[in-house]
Amino acid sequence: MDFDKYLLRSEDEMDFLPIIPLNESDHEDQQGIEVPPEIALLPLRNTVLFPGIVLPITVGRDKSIKAVNDAYKGDKLIGVVAQKDSNVEDPAVGDLESVGTVAKVVKLIKMPDGGTTIIIQGKSRFRIDNVFEEDPYFKAKITKLDEEDSPKDADFDAYVANIKDLAADIVQLSPNIPSEASIILRNIENPAFLIHFVSSNLNTDIKDKQRLLELNQIRQRADLLMQLLQKELQFVELKNKVTHKTKTELDKQQREYFLQQQLKSIKEELGGDANIGEIKEMQKKAEAKKWPQAAKEMFNKGIEKLERMHPSTPDYSVVYNHLDLMLDLPWEEYTKDYYDLTKAKKTLDTDHYGMKKIKERILEYLAVLKLKGDMKSPILCFVGPPGIGKTSLGKSIAASIGRKYVRLSLGGLHDESEIRGHRKTYIGAMPGRILQSIRKVRSSNPVMILDEIDKVGSDFRGDPSSALLEVLDPEQNNSFYDNYLEMEYDLSKVLFIATANNIQNIQPALRDRLEIIDLSGYAVEEKVEIAKRHLLPKQKELHGLKSSSFRMSDKVIEKIIQDYTRESGVRELDRQLASIMRYQAKQLAMKGKLKTSLSVEDITKILGKPRYSNEIYKTANIAGVAVGLAWTYVGGDILFIETSLSDGKGDLKLTGNLGNVMKESASTALTYLQSNAKKLKLDNKLFEKKNIHIHVPEGAVPKDGPSAGITMMTSIASALTGKKVKPYMAMTGEITLRGQVLPVGGIKEKVLAAKRAGLKEIILCWQNEKDVQEIDSAYIKGISFHYVKTMNQVLELALA
């Protein structure tokens, strides 16, 4: 409520002398005032004048000043109406409300700044019938609205008493309204004047006040006023609650600040603040630290800066964290390498079965270290299918030479800041993953595994593989620069070992820095040994069967490998063994005992019917079908190539989701057969009258590469001659138009895939013989190899 507009205030707040109409007889006499039929109008912006109320008004508009002056010289009566929109500077007729109050200009005061202030008193309500003049000011024909007498019943008396109580409550809760206002309210006895007085002072929207003025029945006016008062009271109570809560919180903050200041003073008296203790602790650590001169100088500069800072400043934590990193990094701290080659070999053999090439390379590295005492660490990269133990091998290498081990997963990395770190001025900045790992292991010569280096992303945020060029170059990594550290760090003693599934996905410049060691898949015999030595004991322990004495024979394990898995690694085998252990655990829990050994029949019962079968190679033996060998990033695989002839014009059709190189191999094969038709005893007319359709099954899988060349040629020749390809025979090799067979890659994976599939003969290029010799002869027992130089030799062997 706005009672303070009408009550006496201190001189510095007073714009004018407020007038309080305490003589209610004035209000009773005003009904008898003679209201002229035509009157000048005074539009008010933010105010509604009620009958009996005295208002001081500052008049600013030229039109309004003229109207007031003319009225003051005449009968001193003027029609006061509210504007519909208070933002309108120069109102038109449509901007004025239709109901207003006839007011008497009690006093007109000319102000020193040229403005005019008038004191007016509302006399009677009126309605505008017609505005007949707009210049120099509004003049209108009006009709006086008579006030009805106040009802003399208990219901209305209750309304009046309630209005007084609500208004008094608002006055009491509002700190800006003087308490004298409640005395005025209690002394008003005329109900109509009370309603007008409270309505005028109500802190509500101008439209609500206008509604109060327009209501003819006093009972309706009292009802609406009471609703508005209730709303105002709720608002004041809520405002008080919020103010009190805010004040309480402010008081609490001021109290805490005061206590903090006192605490600070006490600490200074006792011998310094907490941050001084922190700085001294850092300096003490730095004195015992072995680090380069450049790092020492940078640290001392940072400490000097920190001493000048207040702990509450934002930069304090930035400088503190940077110095903390410098102290945590193992600048010249190295673990001692063990040069016992026999023990290292034993550790590698215990942890991993097979992998002779890698073990020899690690032992060579140790031998050089033993003789020379120091050398730049090689950057090794293990490439092979998933599940063959590339990552775990890194841990085994660390154990064999007595170094700390740390693994850095690069799969999906897309921001070079992850490698090089962020500028320390950024919010949430931190060093790169390389330095974080070094900090964690507290050694400057750990074995660091860069896992899945072929899966590093590259987009608009940066190219981490380019950032790795500096890390993985033995000539550069002795001065690796991290953006957060802001100085160089020596990584030359770190033994980096990268792992990858597909070397083609590694950036060429990065690939050039890596010493690639190919890891091919395991043979069945190797998998049996791995299962016995590592997988079975691990799964027994995981399933609470460590103390159980049941056994699995080599024959049973071999059955699981051949009938339930098709992989180069051993992950699927591990899962199948876990299924068997779960079944055994259930049997032990329910029956209290287990069979001493599992048979082949038990395996079928536990794992269900075999998922894979070699019978397919028997049933598929029809003319036009040849078996090829393929390499995939998960190891070797078998693929069928089918050729069918149909009547037509000699067109060649290729299906099975083939790549361009594979399509070209099919065209080369067909051209060779056409050009050598006489030698091969083929009918030339077949090529003109028959359409040739070559299909490679599993059409959803993309296939490409030149290694299926001789298989496609054999398939076409088989279809054209009607001769079947020898059963259990597979082949791989590239072909030329001159009839030569060229070597291809991935021989070990392909041969092992053929062995897994139960094939007995393989045709290869003579230059691939050296690759076969690298495979342990025990793993390829039962397979005959045919080494050929020409495509004629292939056909003689395959179609015999």
DSSP 8-state assignment for residue 459: B
Tokens of 57: 């008004």
What would the mean pLDDT of 433-446 be, rounded to a whole number? 89
Closest Cα partner for 764 from 745, 743, 783?
743
Mind listing the pLDDT tens digit for each residue in 512-528? 888 888 877 777 778 88
What would the mean pLDDT of 113-117 be, rounded to a whole number? 79
- Give the pLDDT score at 18: 37
What would the mean pLDDT of 477-482 be, rounded to a whole number? 84
N-terminal to C-terminal alpha carbon distance within the chain: 112
186 CB-near residues (< 8 Å, 6+ apart): 164, 168
Integer Cα distance of 375 and 378 in angstroms: 9
Residue 726 has pLDDT above 50, yes or no: yes
- Give the pLDDT score at 617: 56
pLDDT band at 764 (very low <50, low <70, confident <90, very high): very high
- Give the pLDDT score at 5: 42
pLDDT band at 374 (very low <50, low <70, confident <90, very high): low
Helix (H, G, I), strand (E, B) or coil at 647: strand
- Give the pLDDT score at 20: 46
Helix (H, G, I), strand (E, B) or coil at 778: helix
The Cβ of residue 503 has, within 10 Å, a number of other Cβ atoms equal to 16
Please list the residues that pair with 15 across neighbouring strands.
Answer: none
- Give the pLDDT score at 1: 53
**CB of 688 closer than 8 Å to CB of 650:** yes
Q: Which one from 123, 559, 750, 755 is the annotated catalytic residue?
A: 750
- Give the pLDDT score at 595: 82
461 CB-near residues (< 8 Å, 6+ apart): 414, 415, 416
Percent of the chain with pLDDT over 90: 5
- Give the pLDDT score at 731: 92
Give the CA distances from residue 228 to residues 85, 159, 282, in Å, rounded to whole numbers and listed in that order.
21, 13, 67
**CB of 530 closer than 8 Å to CB of 569:** no
Q: Is 750 a catalytic residue?
A: yes
Contacts 24+ apart (CB under 8 A), 616-624: 617/727, 617/728, 617/757, 617/758, 617/759, 618/727, 621/724, 621/725, 621/727, 622/724, 623/718, 623/719, 623/721, 623/722, 623/723, 623/724, 623/725, 624/715, 624/718, 624/719
Residue 28 has pLDDT above 60, yes or no: no
**Across all residues in the chain, what is the average pLDDT?**
82
Mind listing the pLDDT tens digit for each residue in 376-428? 767 888 888 887 888 888 888 888 888 899 998 888 788 888 888 888 888 88
Residue 495 has pLDDT above 90, yes or no: no
Largest Cα span, the chain = 138
Q: Of the ranges 25-34, 39-48, 225-234, which is most confident?
A: 39-48
- Give the pLDDT score at 267: 60
Residue 15 has pLDDT above 50, yes or no: no
Residue 14 has pLDDT above 50, yes or no: no
What would the mean pLDDT of 84-91 be, rounded to a whole number? 84
**CB of 595 closer than 8 Å to CB of 583:** no
- Give the pLDDT score at 7: 36
Q: Which one from 568, 707, 715, 718 is the annotated catalytic residue?
A: 707
Integer Cα distance of 653 and 649 in angstroms: 12
pLDDT band at 503 (very low <50, low <70, confident <90, very high): confident
Q: Is 707 a catalytic residue?
A: yes
Give the CA distances from residue 203 to residues 98, 198, 420, in Å, rounded to whole numbers and listed in that order.
22, 10, 63
Mind listing the pLDDT tens digit for each residue in 295-332? 888 888 888 888 777 777 778 888 888 888 888 888 88
- Give the pLDDT score at 371: 82
Give the CA distances from residue 376 to residues 396, 472, 478, 495, 700, in Å, rounded to whole numbers and listed in that order.
20, 11, 10, 9, 47
